Structure 1
């Protein structure tokens, strides 16, 4: 009788314990995200810096347009005025991302002055002079905020066997011709991307190719970060990672880790085969996932990691500066 009871109780106990662990771990995830993300506050320098990068990068993207609009991203300008006058931010001009925030703001004003546009309603000359003074010796009138490339120059280092040059040459491209990449090239890209490591070699990543223009536009509308560049996007890759491959509570976030590793390999593979690409962030909510599932058929078990518009680069195009940190800012010995 005891043996029978044990056999009955054991699975009930196991399932109960799993559920408690599951809820506890999710609660800790929630508590830490609430405590440290900038969703709920911007109190310390790193949170302020994250907010600064989010806002100044929008200006960089706007600067890519040859026919930029007067006073574009006014909401971002308002946010940046607040951030760049913060006492803690002002004292941290030696940090690369804070310095470039001031530089991008100065360039924004100068681009409007070059066109003879008055933007005093959102950005005054006094504010511009203030930012220039903060930059002091860091200020340069040659700062552009964007890179100009020819297609030949952009892909010059992809096959020279120097990984350092290759890695530094990869940048997000948003300006395509509208021509489709041949499927045989995309197959080679995926074959190369599949060399990405994954937990216990489970290889849970999948890549979907969408070529229906109407669906491509609808999906990018849900993503929301590619506004102004969708006209010549004829192909879209969607990277997912399948929850079916994970088996412990501790692996609840492994799909993002493996998916992120695969994404970087995929971006390198696209660059190697000279396919223009731009990873479009999928930090979205459940409602957005559902909108995607209403447009294309992706199994519910798979989590979207990223959308990647792809295409042939124009003969000449621009990319954002997207300044990277030096190792001294994020390499720490303990």
Structure 2
């Protein structure tokens, strides 16, 4: 039997679900509006550039396989050259084009070394396209020696990550801007889908600005005053295409974890502050932080120097047997 008590509960649940549904619909249209089209990525420089990163990396991956197929990826390579030429005509020559040319030059070298014959017209186009480039750029493949990693060990890494804590009680000593930027530089080696590197790091050092932004985040109460610097990690929707709306959070999350560990290695404390907002709350937070509409919030990072001694949440970890499933 239904009682009067059930009605406000049902009403509240209904309103909550409707609000979340509205946010999800807005998420969809945001992705639809700002993402790039595989068929026509030439809408603007940024979207075309991300398209080139994606399709360039497809060729790099092909060359890095144990036994690449001869003559692989011809339609994709022809398309990559065509879109690269459009990019050059509209926006000029820059490093991404040199990287693509270097990769395609290595594609030719791979076939020459293996005495593999490419279709004549396709080979001519490849040679014309990759004739001149700055060889100092990164692109194609590189050989890695296992010896580079011989000094690494799991015990040292475990010790390193086990003494990383979410810090909510920072020292009043100011944080060096240069140290934060050095940590950001180290963090860029996070994995990224097709090497698109969609993340952005918005850096705030003015205390009043930080307080204004943190009014839109509900996990900093009680230690706001101790936060010296603030980073907001975002993802650029223009880096993604159809069926990739969730990838922005995966890429941004991988970069964020790298950044947290880099800050830890620099001797700084940090605390990840969630941005689990409705679509409308997210827009208000972006406005306060002067973040462009095409970006999505991944997380905020509160940063400060460490005190000699400080308290942290013990945060017990589940035993591995509870989440590792052998098949």
TM-score, normalisation: structure 1: 0.51
Match of 1:312 among 290, 305, 309: 305
Q: Which runs of 5+ in 2 are unaligned?
A: 1-23, 29-153
Q: CA deviation at 1:164?
A: 1.3
Query: Residue 279 of structure 1 aligns to a residue in which SS?
Result: strand
Query: Residue 222 of structure 1 aligns to a residue in which SS?
Result: coil
2:203 alignment counterpart: 209
Q: CA deviation at 1:226?
A: 1.0
Q: How many residues get paired? A: 178
Query: Residue 312 of structure 2 aligns to a residue in which SS?
Result: strand
CA distance in 1 between partners of 2:190 and 2:212 (Å): 30
Match of 2:294 among 285, 289, 301: 301
Runs of 4+ in 1 over 3 A off after TM superposition: none
Match of 1:166 among 151, 160, 168: 160
Task: Provide Cα deviations, 1:26-81, integer angstroms capped at 9, x if missing partner.
Answer: 79x99xxxxxxxxxxxxxxxxxxxxxxxxxxxxxxxxxxxxxxxxxxxxxxxxxxx
Match of 2:184 among 190, 197, 203: 190
CA distance in 1 between partners of 2:304 and 2:266 (Å): 11
Q: CA deviation at 1:161?
A: 8.2
Match of 1:284 among 277, 292, 300: 277
Query: Residue 310 of structure 2 aligns to a residue in which SS?
Result: strand
Q: CA deviation at 1:297?
A: 1.6
CA distance in 2 between partners of 1:234 and 1:264 (Å): 20
TM-score, normalisation: structure 2: 0.52
Q: CA deviation at 1:188?
A: 0.9
2:268 alignment counterpart: 275
Query: Residue 287 of structure 2 aligns to a residue in which SS?
Result: helix
CA distance in 1 between partners of 2:174 and 2:181 (Å): 14
Task: Provide Cα deviations, 1:183-242, integer angstroms capped at 9, x if missing partner.
Answer: 111111001110101000000011111112112112222111110101111211100011
CA distance in 2 between partners of 1:254 and 1:293 (Å): 20
Q: Which runs of 5+ in 1 are unaligned?
A: 1-25, 31-159
8 A Cα contact 2:187 2:258, kept in partner: yes
CA distance in 2 between partners of 1:206 and 1:161 (Å): 32
The range that moved more, 194-203 or 294-303, is 294-303
Matched, 1:256 2:249: yes
Query: Residue 257 of structure 2 aligns to a residue in which SS?
Result: helix
CA distance in 2 between partners of 1:180 and 1:290 (Å): 30
Equivalent positions of 1:99-114 (< 5 A) are none
Task: Provide Cα deviations, 1:131-164, integer angstroms capped at 9, x if missing partner.
Answer: xxxxxxxxxxxxxxxxxxxxxxxxxxxxx98111
Query: Residue 215 of structure 2 aligns to a residue in which SS?
Result: helix
Q: CA deviation at 1:310?
A: 0.2
Equivalent positions of 1:25-40 (< 5 A) are none
Query: Residue 298 of structure 1 aligns to a residue in which SS?
Result: coil
The range that moved more, 205-214 or 292-301, is 292-301
Match of 2:212 among 200, 218, 231: 218
1:108 alignment counterpart: none
1:330 alignment counterpart: 323
CA distance in 1 between partners of 2:162 and 2:289 (Å): 34
Match of 1:266 among 259, 270, 275: 259
Query: Residue 332 of structure 1 aligns to a residue in which SS?
Result: coil
1:131 alignment counterpart: none
CA distance in 2 between partners of 1:209 and 1:180 (Å): 15
CA distance in 2 between partners of 1:316 and 1:286 (Å): 39
| RMSD of aligned residue pairs (Cα, Å) | 2.0
